[in-house]
């Protein structure tokens, strides 16, 4: 049975959007927020939640990019969409996990491991249970404890955000599958974005009213990204409804971000919100500009470097903390750690990206350039 739905007229075909450097900037902000302790000046950036605002912006960007990908490449291939996303997520994560285990083990054997914060029971980090838990943490973001694989120490410390992204991918693939199965071709795009917006709003309201369902709190960020894409690429009533969804998402996001960063007693939530809103404005601007062809390759390179930098910068920080005496911390050491994290990310990228890039382009049906 095929159902009618409000028709959506697409006003814009695919074009390359210069999000690569923006992604890299967000990953760099996350790295700065964690590695600045090496400067010797204390946790002076913690009150503004720089890393949190960057991760929130990542979620918004993900909503935009995934909405575009499904609309242009995977509208009738939700399975291919999901396979491509998993190929993008899991190989770099597994590389980062292996590198992290090896480096942690080497430091523990020949020196003393130092951490950014308290680590309970560090002596069990190399246990089979913890390593299996780390390996399964993305595929099974909840319920690992019930299977007997508690992750007592996350070697890839900030992969939690990647697990949230995966939940969004699964949801969007399911919505695309329902649209493919039950909607007429002309109505599928409208159904996809409307279902994403309504389900995302409902998920956030459940979280806000019950204070339960940890992943649900991130729904408005993805909804904003999806709505920004559809507002930019549609006309008529659907464009108006997309604007309504954008405004509602912005209200939810600013409320949530203020409450989230405010959990830090020393928080300067107003500055955090300003940073977040500026990052959203930059994303909106970049979604509407074109990049000269000679700059596209560089933008793509920075975009490819983003995920390895996000995954591996914590390990680089552990190395610096463990090998450099605390009295040697300085602004120069902080800058050096950022450079080292970027170089390490490039090495990690070479261990996965060349083996998956062509396969992902083949699944997609074209290169993104």
Give the tens place of pLDDT for each residue, 308-318: 999 999 999 99
| 84 part of a folded domain | yes
Dihedral (Cα; 28, 217, 83, 363), 10-degree rounding = -60
d(CA 353, CA 300): 12
Q: pLDDT digit string (tens) for 304-352?
A: 999 999 999 999 999 999 999 989 999 999 999 999 999 999 999 999 9
Residue 369 has pLDDT above 70, yes or no: no
Q: Rg of the Cα trace of the chain?
A: 21
Q: What is the mean pLDDT of the chain?
A: 90
| 148 part of a folded domain | no
Question: What is the pLDDT averaged over residues 363-367?
Answer: 79
| 3 part of a folded domain | no
d(CA 339, CA 341): 5
Let me know if 181 is exposed, middle or buried by CB neighbors in 10 A (0-12, 13-18, 19+).
exposed
| 14 part of a folded domain | no
What domain range is 65 assigned to? 20-121+162-364
Share of the chain above pLDDT 90, in %: 67
Residue 298 has pLDDT above 70, yes or no: yes
| 316 part of a folded domain | yes
pLDDT of residue 2: 46
Q: What is the model's pTM? A: 0.93
Which of 124, 122, 238, 233 lies closest to 191 in space, CA to CA? 238
Structure tokens at 260: 């989230």
Q: What's the total number of domains in the chain? A: 1
Structure tokens at 164: 């949230």
Share of the chain above pLDDT 70, in %: 94
Residue 8 has pLDDT above 60, yes or no: no
Name the H helices within the chain. 20-35, 50-72, 78-110, 128-136, 160-182, 188-210, 219-233, 237-261, 269-286, 293-323, 331-350, 353-364
| 312 part of a folded domain | yes
Beta-bridge partners for 176: none
pLDDT of residue 36: 92
Q: pLDDT digit string (tens) for 81-94?
A: 999 999 999 999 99
Q: pLDDT digit string (tens) for 95-142?
A: 999 999 999 999 999 999 999 888 887 888 999 999 999 998 888 776
**CB of 306 within 8 A of CB of 23?**
yes
Q: pLDDT digit string (tens) for 25-84?
A: 999 999 999 999 999 877 778 888 899 999 999 999 999 999 999 999 998 999 999 999
């Amino acid at each position: 049975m095929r159902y009618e739905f409000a028709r959506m007229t697409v006003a814009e075909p695919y074009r390359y959007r210069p999000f690569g450097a923006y992604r890299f900037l967000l990953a760099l902000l996350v790295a700065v927020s964690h590695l600045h302790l090496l400067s010797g000046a204390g946790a002076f950036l913690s009150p503004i939640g720089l890393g949190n605002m960057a991760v929130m912006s990542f979620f918004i960007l993900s909503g935009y990019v995934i909405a575009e990908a499904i609309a242009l490449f995977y509208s009738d291939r939700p399975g291919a969409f999901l396979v491509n996303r998993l190929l993008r997520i899991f190989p770099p994560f597994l590389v980062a996990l292996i590198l992290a285990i090896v480096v942690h083990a080497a430091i523990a054997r020949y020196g003393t491991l130092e951490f950014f914060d308290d680590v309970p029971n560090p002596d069990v980090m190399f246990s089979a249970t913890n390593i299996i838990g780390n390996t399964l943490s993305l595929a099974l973001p909840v319920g690992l404890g019930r299977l007997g694989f508690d992750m007592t120490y996350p070697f890839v410390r900030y992969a939690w955000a990647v697990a949230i992204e995966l939940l969004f991918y699964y949801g969007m693939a399911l919505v695309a599958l329902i649209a493919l199965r039950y909607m007429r071709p002309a109505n599928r795009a409208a159904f996809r974005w409307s279902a994403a917006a309504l389900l995302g709003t409902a998920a956030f309201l459940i979280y806000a009213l019950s204070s339960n369902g940890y992943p649900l709190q991130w729904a408005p960020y993805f909804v904003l990204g999806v709505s920004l894409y559809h507002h930019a690429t549609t006309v008529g009533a659907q464009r108006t409804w997309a604007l309504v969804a954008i405004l509602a998402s912005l209200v939810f996001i600013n409320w949530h971000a203020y409450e989230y960063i405010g959990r830090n007693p020393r928080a300067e939530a107003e500055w955090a919100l300003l940073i977040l809103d500026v990052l959203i404005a930059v994303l909106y601007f970049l979604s509407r500009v074109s990049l000269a062809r000679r700059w596209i390759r560089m933008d793509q390179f920075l975009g490819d470097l983003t995920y390895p930098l996000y995954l591996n910068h914590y390990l680089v920080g552990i190395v610096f903390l463990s090998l450099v005496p605390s009295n040697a911390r300085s602004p120069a050491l902080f800058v050096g750690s950022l450079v080292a994290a970027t170089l390490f990310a490039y090495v990690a990228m070479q261990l996965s990206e060349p083996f998956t890039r062509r396969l992902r382009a083949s699944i997609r049906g074209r290169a993104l350039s």
